[in-house]
Structure 1
Amino acid sequence: MGYIYKIINKITNKCYIGETKKPNPLLRWNEHKSKIQKGIGCPALQDAVKKYGIENFNFEVLIICFDEDRYKYEMEYIKKYNTMAPNGYNLTPGGEGGGFYGKKHSQKTINKISNFMKNRYSKNPEVKNEISNINKIIMNRTDVKEKIKNGMKNSGKWKNAAKGNKRTFQTEETKTKIKEITTTYFNNNENITKHRNIMSTALGIKVIQYSINNEFINKYESINDASRQTGIPKSTIGKAIKQHTYVAGNFIWKKE
């Protein structure tokens, strides 16, 4: 069974109309109170409770109905009690989970929600900070990041972009053009040529390996050869020789 309930402010008589299919409707009231404490849920209801105190609100069941009818009755009772903000605490005409599902809010409703939220944040900087902190906590969760990542990958824009890039790079003509541009760039760039020559010379020089106590250990045909046999990165050996620090991997290295 479903329930249509009313939360009423005993001081102002403003109301919030909602629906639930929980076996005990009081569980929904407890859920409201828990969300309000965490700063989530209906913003208008949150602000009212914060202003007047939860003790000044009553919860009552209006009708019991079939599950499939609760969205219809929710909309009817929101209209009957005139609970749309600013007259009440509902920000939408209801029925989001049922008859309203798949439809769009009217521009009037969209503007009303937009204006309410803007005013709420501008007049309550604390609320803005609370929401910001909650979002930071949520966005740092690994499962949330994964869902966002998967959502992007499964989105139409992402798939179309990927498909477009795939088509572009699959053509032989494009592959040839990229190869020609890359080859020309590297061949005509003096800095790259100079660096290539320096690295070639450095890697080709014979090097001698000593212990930290300056005892001879081995001689190698090149830095590459030394790296391959000792497992010490060639860049580390080359840097030690070039900068005259001579120590790399707990050994002393010198040119022959």
Structure 2
Amino acid sequence: MSKKVRCYSTSSVNNHPSSKIVSEFLTDKNIKPVFIFEDLRYVNTKDKIKDQTKGLSGVYLILNKITNDFYVGSASTDKLFTRFYRHLINLTGSKIVKLAVNKYGIDNFVFIVLETFTEKTTVENNKNLIDVEDFYLKSLLPNYNILTEAGSSFGYKHTELDRIKMKANYSEERRMLIGNLNKNKQFSSTTIERMIQSALNRNKVEFNKEALDNMRKASGAERPIILYNIENNTVFGEYSSITDAALSLNCNKKTIYRALKTEKKVLLKRWIVNYK
């Protein structure tokens, strides 16, 4: 994919710098975004998002300023505004984000564009965009992406132990990796994969054979699957198992199983799903 466009912007309604809460969040995560949009209820802001992301594909982050929970996603060419509108205005995107917006109000959310690309997204180069999104997902561990079914998990509060574990996962090494990704560089798929593996390099818990067998039984089929965007047949994502896909998509495993058994294999009216 072509060189990333880094048009740094402080995109609140009156073009003022981003709020202190947002600045502290970005500093803590070592993120230098391309665009920051606050005051999302105003037409002026929506127009800015539409205008400034026109012709671009990229990776975005939706931040809850009250809880510091956030969601990371990617959008193909000319779809960044669509993703913003679906998640935060129409509330037809992530169920978790929808419930959070209904609870906290649109004024407490920020739409942040992390990376942008100028080259038109195609079946051939879409994997590069997905790789960058995957890097952010695995490095930042966004709460709104990893929670399970929206109906049962909204209102879920992490225990202090959970918070310690999540903070430990976001190590100094990961902060540096994110910082490096934000520099004005172009990375190959191979380089990104090495960065991902390095970010995930931490001590692993050892399980005995019986425990592993039980986990395999509980998780169901272990065959990897791949999702394609229904609108243009580009790759949306690849998952090592149905369980991993269900967690990432905030849907039930049974929903994916049912889609795989149908002739058209349409999942949630957005993707075509198939075994790899």
Q: Which is bigger in relative contact order (C-alpha 8 A, separation at least 6)?
A: 2
Superposition TM-score tier, normalisation by shorter sequence: 0.3 to 0.5
Larger radius of gyration: 1
If the length of structure 2 is used for normalisation, what is the TM-score?
A: 0.33
TM-score (norm: length of structure 1) = 0.35
User: Structure 1 or 2: larger helix share?
Assistant: 1
